[in-house]
Amino acid sequence: MNEELKNSPIEDFDWDAYEKGDAVGEKSREELTKTYDESLNTVKDKEVIEGTIIALNKREAVVNIGYKSDGIIPVNEFRYNPDIKIGDVVEVFIENQEDKKGQLILSHRKARMSRSWERVNQALENDEIIKGYIKCRTKGGMIVDVFGIEAFLPGSQIDVKPIRDYDIFVGKTMEFKVVKINQEFKNVVVSHKALIEAELEQQKKEIISKLERGQVLKGVVKNITTYGVFIDLGGVDGLIHITDLSWGRVSHPEEVVKLDQELDVVIIDFDDERKRIALGLKQLQPHPWDALDADLKVGDKVKGKVVVMADYGAFVEIAPGVEGLIHVSEMSWSQHLRSAQDFMKVGDEVEAVILTLDRDERKMSLGIKQLKNDPWENIETKYPIGSKHTAKVRNFTNFGVFVEIEEGVDGLIHISDLSWTKKIKHPSEFTHVGADIDVQVLEIDKDNRRLSLGHKQLEDNPWDELESVFTVGSIHKGKIIEMQDKGGVVALPYGVEGFATPKHLVKEDGTQAQVNEELDFKVIEFNKDNKRIFLSHSRIFEDEAKAEKNEARKARRQNKKEEQPVLNTTIERTTLGDLEELAALKEKLSGKN
């Protein structure tokens, strides 16, 4: 009821009716009702209007919209705004002017939603700061209630600092900026980080303008990565690279610092344009090389821990920040090229001898083989010529086998010294890498640290005895085991091999003998010096045919001998008669003369 109605008198007041207990007459009642109705707001269902909160408790808010009755709205519709209080003006959606109980039904959530899309777009255009209620977590961020719309808040847009616990933000009301809207899918992206970046940007400029190289500042560990640590310097971030955390080796920054740890750092470098600040932690400590024992010298023994492995060697830390390299060649007296991983691994505690020491360059080389005696110092005594030993096969070449009698003592068995009887094309036919083999020392080359070894020398030379077995002309069973361009290799008894050229492999029927055929072979040459036996299969039947031919010829000669006297008499007589006639003729001719 307005102020004018309260102060103005009612005309034509019916006092008789008042005496009867009726305050106003029928006519006045109608007029009063009309006046009262005109004093109320005219509302319609499904309409959005403004109302004032006149009462508030934990469950409900009573809202006066200037209507004949007040509406009630659940408080959870205002959870996006925890500061809501009595007297606040809010938008409401009229769902029903009067339900069955005569109650006015209002909704604040629907009021917000009816204008939400328009207001969100307006906030983006005007770069407006709005409030939103964080409802829950989702993959990659949070869901925020903005004007009744569910907007997405990426985890990276919550704060300028990395967030380690997202759950603490659920149920909070925060200020945001709308940063992106997808009109087609009605998707909204908001950011809280954007609100503070502008302010931080100005702070960064001010802080960086006051920075100097070598300046020591206090900072807090903000984030730890595999490559370094980000430090909050009070509005601007700096990075301590992993190599600047400690003078010693660091596998991961977590070994040195922890999140939220406060520490002193020194400015190594900075970039005004990119606003990057390089910080150092180890630089605040003296270099370990400067504190190294002054009496330490070449030849001294030291102990340390293997911190890095490579194929060519191992880095050993003998003191925090002081490392020496043990090259793989200094790990063993052996001449074999091997990987450093064969001798040690990261974390091993080792003892070594200092080989070189350069304090100016801060470099040191170490060796562990020097802890053992060089086996070549007394090689003639330990492995004299003619001595027999067991060695380990290490490697092959086309001409022989490299073996190791002990660590650092290597030798070569020439392919010709593997067997007395077998013709070996490659050492792999005779043995294999890693196998044990008995050897005899033939020669010592101390300068080149190499022994000449033999294997066949462990047995007597069988060729002296074989000479009496495989005499020239003797026939033996043999099997063709290999065919070559120049002939075939034949396996003979007693593990001996012989050789036959193609013309000596022709069989009696004229065909050529093939691999794996077993035939008789005749020895046509035995060369003890070159340890070769030359064979022939065809010579067997050729010699038999020749023998038969000779026998036939001999028989014919014998027959001729038996007939010879008769023929000689006849011939002799004829010859004498002829001579007498010739003599008479000669005398006759002489008389005429």
For position 46, which CATH number holds?
2.40.50.140
Write down the pLDDT at residue 336: 65
Is residue 524, in this structure, part of any structural domain at all?
Answer: yes
Residues 294 and 318 in one domain: yes
Residues 310 and 351 in one domain: yes
Asked whether the predicted pLDDT for residue 569 surpasses 60, the reply is no
pLDDT band, very low/low/confident/very high, at 273 (cuts 50, 70, 90): low
pLDDT tens digit sequence for 75-93:
887 877 778 888 888 878 7
Residues 437 and 532 in one domain: no
pLDDT band, very low/low/confident/very high, at 9 (cuts 50, 70, 90): low
Asked whether the predicted pLDDT for residue 28 surpasses 70, the reply is no
Is residue 25, in this structure, part of any structural domain at all?
Answer: yes
Long-range contacts of 206-211 (CB under 8 A, 24+ apart): 207/233, 207/234, 207/235, 207/236, 208/236, 208/270, 208/272, 208/275, 208/277, 211/267, 211/270, 211/277
Residues 481 and 591 in one domain: yes
CB count within 10 Å of CB 384 equals: 10
The CB-side HSE value for 403 (13 A sphere, CA atoms) comes to 29
Write down the pLDDT at residue 96: 67
Residues 471 and 590 in one domain: yes
Instruction: Output the CA–CA distances (angstroms, integers) from residue 178 to 149, 175, 181, 193, 519, in the order listed.
Output: 12, 10, 8, 11, 100
Can you read off the two tokens belonging to residue 364? 């040191």
d(CA 52, CA 69): 13
Q: Considering 258, 284, 310, which residue would you say is the last residue of a domain? A: 284
Is residue 204, in this structure, part of any structural domain at all?
Answer: no
Calculated CA dihedral for residues 90, 93, 99, 103, nearest 10 degrees: 10
Write down the pLDDT at residue 365: 93
Is residue 518, in this structure, part of any structural domain at all?
Answer: yes
Residues 365 and 385 in one domain: no
Whose CA is closest to 215, among 263, 284, 262, 272? 284
pLDDT band, very low/low/confident/very high, at 147 (cuts 50, 70, 90): confident
pLDDT tens digit sequence for 384-411:
888 888 888 888 888 898 988 888 788 8
Q: Considering 196, 228, 249, which residue would you say is the last residue of a domain? A: 196
Residues 356 and 454 in one domain: no
Write down the pLDDT at residue 571: 43
- Give the range of the structural domain holding residue 105, as residue numbers without chain letter: 3-112
Residues 584 and 465 in one domain: yes
Instruction: State mean pLDDT over 285-298.
Output: 85
Give the ranges where 341-451 is alpha helix by DSSP (H): 379-382
Identify whether the C-beta of residue 463 lies closer than 8 Å to the C-beta of residue 528. yes
Identify whether the C-beta of residue 504 lies closer than 8 Å to the C-beta of residue 524. yes
Report CA 107 to chain centroid distance, whole Å.
61
Bridge-based pairing state of the strands 237-241 and 276-280:
parallel
Which helix (H) or strand (E) element contains residue 264?
strand 262-271
Q: Considering 67, 88, 112, which residue would you say is the last residue of a domain? A: 112
Counting the structural domains of the chain, the total is 6
Residues 73 and 140 in one domain: no
CB count within 10 Å of CB 590 equals: 8
Is residue 117, in this structure, part of any structural domain at all?
Answer: no
Identify whether the C-beta of residue 70 lies closer than 8 Å to the C-beta of residue 64. yes
Write down the pLDDT at residue 354: 92
Residues 38 and 145 in one domain: no
Whose CA is closest to 388, among 444, 443, 436, 439? 439
Is residue 120, in this structure, part of any structural domain at all?
Answer: no
Write down the pLDDT at residue 162: 74
Write down the pLDDT at residue 462: 73
Q: Which residue has the tokens 């970046």?
A: 197
Residues 479 and 452 in one domain: no
Is residue 118, in this structure, part of any structural domain at all?
Answer: no
**Sign of CA pseudo-dihedral 503, 507, 509, 512:** negative
Is residue 453, in this structure, part of any structural domain at all?
Answer: yes
Higher pLDDT, 274 or 207: 207
pLDDT tens digit sequence for 581-591:
555 655 655 55
Write down the pLDDT at residue 10: 54
Q: What are phi and psi of 2, to 5 degrees?
A: -80, 170
pLDDT band, very low/low/confident/very high, at 143 (cuts 50, 70, 90): very high
Q: Which residue has the tokens 């003599």?
A: 583
Higher pLDDT, 241 or 465: 241
d(CA 292, CA 289): 5
Residues 44 and 97 in one domain: yes
Identify whether the C-beta of residue 179 lies closer than 8 Å to the C-beta of residue 226. no
